[in-house]
């Protein structure tokens, strides 16, 4: 019994929810949805189990896509990548996975873990390792919690694959980036299995059902109004107005950065949104009002459709939507890994009350 | 205003803040500054109301801390922020993004850039704590401006204006503007002695008199226009203007000295030329060369005399008047006029001469607009000797031109008869006293004897015609002639005596002789 509705409407809701949790990043979802529908038509519907249904020792294998997820459309997956990485890790560790856990619920990976479940025939669990979208592998909840990611396997669209071992999370991140250049820009990845009992502490639990709920609320709304949406989702609108400026620049990190400026059309307050692959912080008249790891979405004001970081441009009429993040990151020990300073932004984390998932 | 605070506008207008650039449009008049401090870090500890802060190290361009700092400055009602002037590095460091400026604008935080932030903050402190710093800066700049000897008054005004960051003009003693920017309203009231402060359209005009060297009278007025912002600088500007006035006086004296020395050199040299040696001495040649005079070639001399007064010689720039007529002349000021000449490479043709003479005539007419003069022009001669000749002819012609009002008091020697030249000769120092002495006895008697004698001789000793000219009876003329012969003891039938008396009459009945005769 799957906790995720895999009907057309259910997948559309999950897709929209993943886009929202992508915080402007995470990659475009349409291709993943097509792959998923195809799998369902083939008679391989993915099953998503509640993590509570697993025994404490049941090994759960983290899987997902790493790299430039936009490149998926240019170099299409063959369908064997997830099977190969799961097999590689199984072979190296000698442990057969009882279930798969998505690495990232935000963006394309919010659907790809279901594709992986369909491809491998292994159930997925209703949890992920980010609770949103984040740019780096060392920002996996499991890595922050203290789990080893290796042995890990990567298989790219070019057919090449590698197995990484005896690396810490930062090492995995660095080597994986090197491999991506060889593999066509993206790769399917599987990490070392994590016992379900540990995973209950070391993951954003319930993230897929949360994503589907988010999407459903939005899609079911008669009038797609961001303010009403924010109320229903337990979030907040920080501003609505026209984008007045988008500046992109190369910062200190490997990803390019950007600053979006908009003026709230009601109060004329100046909103500054700093972004990398995702929207990271929101300043209202110079005062931080929202930051990672909470969910910061920029949505079109009239349709509430999320606007990705790489698509936002001058003149768009948008709303800045702030949703509570995963409870995992609320723990003081975990927060620094994804707080603004982890992205080189020297402000304190600015989180809203409430969080999804198991209470910390 | 509480003591120890100044409006931000005062700081912006301060000369020591001239190179500090405002990035935001904030009404500085309403913002009070009580102190200025440097910030060591973009995330400062405590901020204080009314303090202007300087941030020496700007974070990288899009550092969100800049925005946070702006907000904190706004929350604490700080006076403003000074950041280093933009120097864009390859990573965009050192620039202030438009969004941050926009935020400052919205929150009303005044943001400035300065090449040297610490210096700007120190200068701000000096302004806040007292005006003496301004005074020193103004005076220093004014001294620079007047030391570098400007060539004319307009240039001097421009430099002083730059030094004082305000329009500066020079007014004559009677209150008319001579040079510099126009001042709307009454800038100077010449009837009041001493320094003045007069309201103008948008502020005040500060007027400081420039006195004559050694004398108490006012020669010029120096006027600086202070806008409302610079009003606080009144005292400092006045001090600076006093220094400037002293500088102008020195400058004037120097100019006068140079002009006089130059005039003396010229007239000395001209005197040597007039001595008329065929071959100029090496000294003469060298000195003429230094003045740009050429002694070879062909010269057309001219002389201009003033009918009355000689003040104009110091004022009128004769050279430029003729330059306006497209003729290049050398000018030497003399006691009651000028001598001058036109030099040419080759012997001028009749047409060329005509062009030169026409130009000189037009120039003369222009001069006569200001002051009544008479002018004579000599013929073209060659070499330094020729120059002397031409000048001599010109002087003779000028002498004849005095009374030729119908010719515009202008005579060119080619158009004159020899008789007129002869007449010119009679006006020499030796002949004139003799002529007066000769006719002096007639002065003590009734009956217009001198005029009668002159008319009689003019009429070729014809009594009837003389009577017609004078409008008296023939017998009256006859009686008078007999009395004249008796008084002077002459015989008018004697040709020689008749000629001498005729010349004497012409001389005594003519106006006073020109100075060079």
Facing residue for B99 by CB, picked from A272, A287, A345: A272
pLDDT band at A360, cuts 50/70/90? very low
Facing residue for B64 by CB, picked from A247, A261, A281: A281
Whether A249 sits inside 8 A of B62 (CB atoms) is yes
Facing residue for B71 by CB, picked from A287, A345, A346: A287
Per-residue tokens: B202: 């948008």
* Residue B513: predicted pLDDT: 47
Whether B102 sits inside 8 A of A261 (CB atoms) is yes
* Residue A341: predicted pLDDT: 92
Contact pairs from chain A to chain B, CB under 8 Å: 59
Residues of B in contact with A286 (CB under 8 A): 67-72, 74, 103, 107
| B282-317: pLDDT as tens digits | 888 888 887 778 888 899 999 998 887 655 555 567
Facing residue for B64 by CB, picked from A245, A249, A283: A283
Per-residue tokens: B346: 């080759």
* Residue B516: predicted pLDDT: 46
* Residue B493: predicted pLDDT: 85
pLDDT band at A179, cuts 50/70/90? very high
Residues of A in contact with B65 (CB under 8 A): 346-347
Per-residue tokens: B18: 């001239």
Whether B68 sits inside 8 A of A287 (CB atoms) is yes
Facing residue for B99 by CB, picked from A250, A261, A346: A261
Instruction: Report ipTM (2 d.p.).
Output: 0.85
Whether A270 sits inside 8 A of B65 (CB atoms) is no
Facing residue for B106 by CB, picked from A259, A270, A283: A270
Whether A261 sits inside 8 A of B61 (CB atoms) is no
How close, in Å, is residue B128 to chain A by CA atoms?
A: 29
Whether B70 sits inside 8 A of A250 (CB atoms) is no
* Residue A321: predicted pLDDT: 92
CA distances A34 to A100, A114, A157, A300, B330, Å, are 20, 12, 17, 24, 100
> What share of chain B in percent tops pLDDT 90?
5
Residues of A in contact with B108 (CB under 8 A): none
Question: Who wins on pLDDT, B429 or A302?
Answer: A302
Question: Who wins on pLDDT, A159 or B86?
Answer: A159
Sign, CA dihedral A202-A131-A187-A85, equals positive
Exposure string (b/e) for B95-126, b if CB count within 10 Å is 16 or more? bbbebbbbbbbbbebbbbbbebbebbbbbbeb
How close, in Å, is residue B68 to chain A by CA atoms?
A: 5
**pLDDT above 70 for A343:** yes
- List the beta strands (DSSP E) in B383-488: 410-412
Residues of A in contact with B107 (CB under 8 A): 285-286
| A59-85: pLDDT as tens digits | 999 999 998 887 888 888 888 899 999
How close, in Å, is residue B171 to chain A by CA atoms?
A: 53
User: What mean pLDDT, rounded, does chain A reach?
Assistant: 90
* Residue A281: predicted pLDDT: 95
Whether B106 sits inside 8 A of A250 (CB atoms) is no
> What share of chain B in percent tops pLDDT 70?
87
Residue with token string 């502020």: B203
Residues of A in contact with B61 (CB under 8 A): 249
Name the DSSP class of B513: P
Average pLDDT over residues B97-126: 86
Whether A346 sits inside 8 A of B71 (CB atoms) is no
Q: Which range (A169-183, B131-145, B437-451, B466-480) has the least confidence? A: B131-145
Whether A285 sits inside 8 A of B65 (CB atoms) is no
| B417-438: pLDDT as tens digits | 555 556 666 666 677 778 888 8
* Residue B234: predicted pLDDT: 75
* Residue A184: predicted pLDDT: 84
* Residue B517: predicted pLDDT: 38
| B193-250: pLDDT as tens digits | 788 888 777 777 888 888 875 666 777 888 888 876 666 677 778 888 888 888 888 8
Mutate to test the interface with B, among A264, A269, A286 (most CBs of B within 10 A): A286
Highest mean pLDDT among A284-288, B170-174, B195-199: A284-288
Closest CA to A110 of A213, A249, A259: A213
CA distances A290 to A104, A259, A321, A324, Å, are 21, 15, 10, 10
pLDDT band at A22, cuts 50/70/90? very high
Residues of A in contact with B74 (CB under 8 A): 286
**pLDDT above 80 for B485:** yes
Indicate whether this model's pTM tops 0.90.
no
Average pLDDT over residues A285-304: 91
CA distances B392 to A145, B183, B268, B341, Å, are 116, 50, 16, 11
User: What mean pLDDT, rounded, does chain B reach?
Assistant: 80
Residues of A in contact with B63 (CB under 8 A): 346
Residues of A in contact with B62 (CB under 8 A): 247, 249, 251, 257, 259, 274
* Residue B434: predicted pLDDT: 80
**pLDDT above 70 for A142:** yes
Whether A247 sits inside 8 A of B67 (CB atoms) is no
How close, in Å, is residue B61 to chain A by CA atoms?
A: 10
Average pLDDT over residues B504-508: 81
* Residue A18: predicted pLDDT: 94
Chain B's closest residue to A243, CA to CA, is: B99
* Residue B92: predicted pLDDT: 47
| B14-60: pLDDT as tens digits | 878 888 888 888 777 778 888 888 887 777 778 888 899 988 877 77
d(C-alpha A208, C-alpha A306), whole Å: 18
Chain A's closest residue to B99, CA to CA, is: A261
How close, in Å, is residue B60 to chain A by CA atoms?
A: 9
d(C-alpha B333, C-alpha B324), whole Å: 19
Whether A286 sits inside 8 A of B68 (CB atoms) is yes
Whether A247 sits inside 8 A of B74 (CB atoms) is no
Average pLDDT over residues A319-347: 91
Q: Which range (A6-15, A334-343, B420-429) has the least confidence? A: B420-429
**pLDDT above 60 for A296:** yes
Whether A247 sits inside 8 A of B97 (CB atoms) is yes
d(C-alpha B260, C-alpha B278), whole Å: 29
**pLDDT above 90 for A153:** yes
Sign, CA dihedral B352-B353-B356-B358, equals negative
Average pLDDT over residues B382-389: 87
How close, in Å, is residue A266 to chain B by CA atoms?
A: 15
Whether A285 sits inside 8 A of B107 (CB atoms) is yes
Mutate to test the interface with A, among B64, B89, B103 (most CBs of A within 10 A): B64
Whether A249 sits inside 8 A of B64 (CB atoms) is no
How far is Cα of residue A181 from the mean position of the Cα atoms in its chain? 22
How close, in Å, is residue B43 to chain A by CA atoms?
A: 9
CB atoms within 10 A of CB A8: 11
* Residue A151: predicted pLDDT: 93
pLDDT band at A172, cuts 50/70/90? very high
* Residue B200: predicted pLDDT: 76
**pLDDT above 50 for B504:** yes
Whether A285 sits inside 8 A of B103 (CB atoms) is yes
**pLDDT above 90 for B61:** no
| A113-138: pLDDT as tens digits | 999 999 999 999 999 999 999 998 99
Residues of A in contact with B106 (CB under 8 A): 268-270, 285
Average pLDDT over residues B374-394: 88
pLDDT band at B336, cuts 50/70/90? confident
A278: exposed, middle or buried (Cβ count in 10 Å: 0-12, 13-18, 19+)? buried
* Residue B332: predicted pLDDT: 87
| B445-463: pLDDT as tens digits | 877 888 888 889 888 888 8
Whether B62 sits inside 8 A of A245 (CB atoms) is no
Dihedral, B80, B86, B87, B88 alpha carbons, nearest 10: 110
Dihedral, A116, A122, A126, A131 alpha carbons, nearest 10: -40
Average pLDDT over residues B457-473: 88
Q: Find the length of chain B.
A: 517
Facing residue for A286 by CB, picked from B67, B92, B98: B67
CA distances A312 to A298, A316, B127, B212, B428, Å, are 9, 7, 47, 74, 103
Residues of A in contact with B98 (CB under 8 A): 245
């Amino acid at each position: 019994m799957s906790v995720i509705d895999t009907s057309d409407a259910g997948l559309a809701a999950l897709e929209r929810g993943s886009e929202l949790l992508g915080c402007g990043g995470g990659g475009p979802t349409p291709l993943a949805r097509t792959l998923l529908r195809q799998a369902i038509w083939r008679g391989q519907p993915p099953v998503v189990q509640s993590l509570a249904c697993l025994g404490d020792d049941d090994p759960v294998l983290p899987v997902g896509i790493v790299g430039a997820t936009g490149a998926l459309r240019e170099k299409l997956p063959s369908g064997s990548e997830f099977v190969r990485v799961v097999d590689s890790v199984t072979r190296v560790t000698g442990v057969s996975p009882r279930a798969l856990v998505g690495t990232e619920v935000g963006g394309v990976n919010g659907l790809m873990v279901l594709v992986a479940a369909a491809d491998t025939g292994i159930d997925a669990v209703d949890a992920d390792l980010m609770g949103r979208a984040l740019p780096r592998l060392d920002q996996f909840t499991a890595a922050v919690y203290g789990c080893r990611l290796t042995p890990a396997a990567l298989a790219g669209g070019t057919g090449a694959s590698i197995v990484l071992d005896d690396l810490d999370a930062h090492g995995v991140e660095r080597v994986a980036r090197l491999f991506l250049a060889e593999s066509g820009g993206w790769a399917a990845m599987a990490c070392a299995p994590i016992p379900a009992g540990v995973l209950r502490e070391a993951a954003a639990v319930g993230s897929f059902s949360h994503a589907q709920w988010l999407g459903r609320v939005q899609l079911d709304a008669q009038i797609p109004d961001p303010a009403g949406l924010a109320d229903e989702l337990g979030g907040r609108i920080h501003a609505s107005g026209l984008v007045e400026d988008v500046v992109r620049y190369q910062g200190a990190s490997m990803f390019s950065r950007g600053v979006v400026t908009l003026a709230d059309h009601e109060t004329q307050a100046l909103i500054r949104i700093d972004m990398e692959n995702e929207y990271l912080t929101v300043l209202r008249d110079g005062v931080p009002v929202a930051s990672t790891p909470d969910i910061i979405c920029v949505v079109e004001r009239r349709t509430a459709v999320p606007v990705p970081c790489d698509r936002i441009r001058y003149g768009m009429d948008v709303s800045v939507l702030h949703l509570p993040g995963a409870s995992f990151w609320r723990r003081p020990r975990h927060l620094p890994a994804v707080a603004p300073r982890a992205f080189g932004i020297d402000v304190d984390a600015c989180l809203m009350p409430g969080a999804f998932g198991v209470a910390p | 205003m509480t003591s120890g605070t100044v409006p931000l506008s005062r700081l912006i207008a301060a000369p020591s803040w001239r190179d500090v650039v405002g990035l935001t449009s904030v009404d500085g008049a309403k913002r009070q500054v009580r102190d200025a401090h440097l910030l060591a870090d973009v995330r400062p500890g405590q901020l204080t109301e009314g303090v202007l802060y300087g941030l020496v190290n700007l974070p990288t361009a899009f550092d969100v801390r800049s925005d946070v700092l702006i907000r904190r400055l706004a929350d604490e009602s700080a006076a403003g922020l000074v950041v280093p002037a933009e120097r864009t590095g390859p990573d965009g460091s050192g620039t202030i993004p438009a969004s941050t400026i926009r935020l400052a604008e919205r929150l009303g935080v005044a943001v400035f850039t300065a090449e040297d932030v610490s210096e700007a903050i120190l200068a701000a402190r000096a302004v806040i704590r007292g005006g003496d710093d301004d005074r020193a800066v103004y005076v220093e700049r004014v001294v620079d401006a007047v030391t570098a000897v400007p060539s004319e008054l307009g240039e001097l005004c421009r430099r002083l204006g730059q030094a004082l960051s305000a329009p500066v003009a020079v007014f004559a003693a009677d209150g008319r503007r001579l040079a510099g920017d126009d001042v709307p309203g009454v800038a100077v009231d010449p009837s009041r002695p001493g320094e003045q402060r007069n309201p103008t359209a948008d502020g005040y005009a500060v007027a400081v008199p420039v006195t004559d060297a050694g004398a108490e009278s006012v020669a010029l007025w120096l006027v600086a226009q202070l806008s409302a912002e610079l009003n606080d600088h009144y005292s400092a500007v006045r001090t600076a203007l006093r220094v400037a006035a002293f500088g102008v006086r020195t400058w004037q004296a120097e100019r006068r000295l140079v002009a006089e020395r130059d005039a003396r050199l010229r007239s000395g040299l001209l005197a040597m030329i007039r001595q008329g040696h065929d071959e100029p001495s090496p000294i003469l040649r060298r000195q003429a060369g230094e003045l740009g005079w050429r002694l070879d070639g062909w010269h057309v001399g001219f002389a201009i005399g003033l009918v009355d007064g000689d003040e104009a010689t110091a004022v009128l720039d004769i050279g430029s008047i003729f330059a306006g007529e497209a003729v290049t002349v050398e000018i030497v000021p003399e006691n009651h006029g000028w001598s001058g000449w036109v030099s040419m490479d080759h012997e001028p043709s009749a047409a060329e001469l005509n062009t030169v003479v026409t130009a000189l005539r037009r120039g003369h007419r222009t001069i006569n607009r200001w002051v009544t003069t008479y002018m004579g022009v000599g013929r073209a001669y060659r070499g330094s000797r020729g120059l002397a000749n031409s000048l001599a002819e010109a002087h003779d012609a000028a002498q004849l031109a005095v009374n030729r009002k119908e010719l515009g008091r202008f005579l060119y020697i080619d158009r004159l008869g020899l008789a007129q030249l002869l007449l010119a000769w009679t006006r020499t120092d030796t002949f004139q006293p003799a002529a007066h002495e000769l006719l002096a006895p007639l002065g003590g008697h009734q009956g217009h004897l001198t005029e009668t004698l002159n008319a009689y001789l003019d009429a070729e000793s014809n009594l009837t015609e003389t009577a017609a000219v004078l409008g008296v009876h023939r017998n009256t003329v006859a009686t008078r002639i007999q009395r004249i012969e008796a008084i002077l003891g002459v015989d008018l039938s004697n040709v020689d005596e008749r000629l001498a008396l005729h010349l004497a009459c012409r001389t005594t009945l003519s106006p006073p002789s020109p100075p060079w005769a």
